[in-house]
Structure 1
Amino acid sequence: MKDIARFLTGFKNFQRTYFCEDSDFFKSLKSSQNPNVLVVACSDSRVDPAILTGCAPGDMFVVRNVANLIPPYEKTPGLHGVSAAVEYSVKVLGVEHVIVLGHSCCGGIQALMTPEREGLGEFIAPWVSIAEPALAEVARELGDKPDHVRMKACEQAAVLVSLENLLTFPFVWERVMTGKLYLHGWYFDMEKGELLSYLPETGSFEPLVARCVRP
């Protein structure tokens, strides 16, 4: 019950900030939302994108799932939750940026790299298989490297797989090609405390916000 009590205290702080001290804040948000960014992030409790970026309510449209994955566009019967969120944010909300936010120490990618993946559960194994191309690339390029090197490479490669899958959505492709939508691949290194961004020019993830240097 301690966690629940802490959550209620947190909500009271939120309430005080946005409904007492700034009572007008949610008046404009009640009727509609107008975020300019879609963030696809991992469900990992350590990498909440709004906390990481210091955002306020209404600033970003967020999808969170295991390993921040985006499946390719398909019309087969099923419950396509991530695809629905992509469709809504791009076609209805008209976001101008999509950020796929990966991170270090990702349990989903660790599951992907587990040889006996089927034993992980009936939902996890098929879900993380979306990133199979990332796993294959790492095995091909870095098969002889230590586990931690391959893990980080796979986490970053999975971000690129999701970006590639985004481009299979016709409405995403059309907006990217006409300069109305921009795609970003970010990677939060929680061990170093820095944020990296994929640069197509270099073909690598480079510091977007470098680690802080203690005096």
Structure 2
Amino acid sequence: MHRIIDGVLRFQTEIHGKRQELFSELGERQKPFAVFIACSDSRVVPELLTQCDPGDIFVIRNAGNIIPSYGPASGGVSASIEYAVQGLGIPNLIVCGHSDCGAMKAILRDDKLDKMPAVGAWIKHAAAAKQIVEARFSPEEDEKRRLNALVHENVLCQLRNLATHPAVAAKLAAGQLSLHGWVYNIDSGTVDTFDAEKQEFVTLTRDSTAQATPKLIVRYSQKK
């Protein structure tokens, strides 16, 4: 705890004071330009990865960067998404998985989680991703390759789950929300981003225009 306390004190003296104008503004309101849904893994730090300032991104984190489909038993993830999209009107939403994900390893290996029943129940929201990988790769395939595929497929499955949330569906239909599917490669620092037009993950670059936004806009004729 001493390390954490020292960090807070350094923040107060070395950072907060030097950026008083920013923090005074943030003390009154927030206007983030992106929602960033990531894994709780300690190696994934959204603000560090994106080099964003406080107030820039609305971060939602949980084991496996999972987004349950919308339902009557809405939980914290659903509530956070609804508030971010409907309440704050944030126009960009990123679902970010990462390499060497512990949650995905547990799914891939069928780990027995008797002593962690909540974890076991939670990662079942990624069951579709596992079945896709099992359908496309043989059990004899290298585990590292299957894990990499599962991490990527999980991002796509969670993006599909996102579209079941009414606030998200409405914004997508109105063309007011763009979706992005990322996988952060911890060892190299690179990011794979899903290109819905090409139907594949590509490397994120400065000039990247790849999006995972589905084409869900219907044009209605105006009747007189």
CA distance in 2, matches of 1:85, 1:151: 28
Residue 46 of structure 2 is matched in structure 1 by 49
Structure 2: unaligned runs, 5 residues or longer? 207-224
Return the alpha-carbon distance in structure 2 between the equivalents of residues 120 and 195 of structure 1.
34
Measure the CA separation in 1 of the matches of 2:142 and 2:43.
25
Question: Could you tell me the TM-score, scaled by structure 1's length?
Answer: 0.90
Task: Choose which of 32, 35, 38 in structure 1 pairs with 2:32.
Answer: 35
Give the letter for the 1:202 counterpart: K
Aligned to 1:5: 2
Query: Corresponding residue for 2:219?
Result: none
Aligned 8 A contact 1:39 1:100 in 2: yes
Q: Output aligned runs, 1:1-215, within 5 Å.
A: 4-76=1-73, 80-119=75-114, 121-143=116-138, 144-209=140-205
- 1:193 is displaced (CA, Å) by 2.1
Q: Give me the CA root mean square deviation.
A: 1.6
- Alignment: residue pair count: 205
The verdict on how the C-alpha distance between 1:161 and 1:178 changes in structure 2, with shifts beyond 3 A counting, is same
User: Normalized against structure 2, the TM-score is what?
Assistant: 0.86
The CA deviation at 1:113 is 1.4
> Greater share of helix residues, 1 or 2?
1
Aligned AA for 2:25? S
Deviations for 1:145-198, whole angstroms, at most 9, x for unmatched residues? 210000000011000111000000122111112111111001101132211101
Distance in 1 between residues matched to 2:115 and 2:197, nearest whole Å = 37
User: Alpha-carbon deviation of 1:116?
Assistant: 4.1
Shift of 1:117: 3.5
Which deviates further from its counterpart, 200-209 or 154-163? 200-209
* CA shift in 2, pair 1:52/1:154, >3 Å: same
Tell me if the contact between 1:194 and 1:209 (Cα under 8 Å) persists in the aligned partners: no
* 8 Å Cα contact 1:189-1:195 kept in structure 2: yes
Deviation by residue 1:101-121 (Cα, 9 ceiling, x = unmatched) = 100000011111122434351
- AA of the residue aligned to 2:78: S
Equivalent-residue separation in structure 1 for 2:49 and 2:122 (angstroms) = 25
State the Cα deviation string for residues 55-106 of structure 1 (Å, max 9, x = none).
Answer: 1111111111001000000013xx6010000011011111001100100000
Identity level (%)? 35
